[in-house]
Amino acid sequence: MTKTNKIIYWIATLWLSLGMTSTGIVQLLRMKGEVEFILDLGYPDYFLTLLGLTKLLAVVAILIPRFPLLKEWAYAGLFFMMSGALYSHIAHHNTIKEIAPVMLLLLLISVSWYFRPMDRKLISVNFSK
């Protein structure tokens, strides 16, 4: 892994972790604006607990060393969660101002996953030989 790739990975991963941690905490604390927002999208308020806890656990899984399979699941979970959020915002006809943070998090998830070091990747086995 080149030095440039390491820098890209850590910048994307740290920004991703910061974004997911901050929104996860806001969701777990059920801050008034967040509750109103989730209800406005049509979801029950208890959904905030699931989203917040999942985000925090995924950040821990991505940042800790080893456990590449767990990291794959964490990246996939965050990607599907943010894809669902993007779809919800678009279906609700939200403005680009409300959609842009979700798109940024999707980009950070993708960049962090793509540039992750070899020791954070699953080893693929080719059974065709």
What is the predicted pLDDT for the residue at 34? 93
What is the predicted pLDDT for the residue at 118? 84
**Distance set, CA 121 to CA 22, 57, 115 (Å):** 26, 18, 10
What is the predicted pLDDT for the residue at 90? 95
117 membership: H or E segment, kind and range: none
Asked if residue 68 lies in contact with residue 120, where contact means CB atoms within 8 angstroms, the answer is: yes
Q: Domain map of the chain by residue range? A: 3-116
What is the predicted pLDDT for the residue at 35? 95
Number of C-beta neighbours around residue 66 at 10 A: 9
Distance CA 115, CA 121 (A): 10
pTM, 2 dp: 0.89
What is the predicted pLDDT for the residue at 129? 56
Ranges of the chain with pLDDT below 70: 124-129
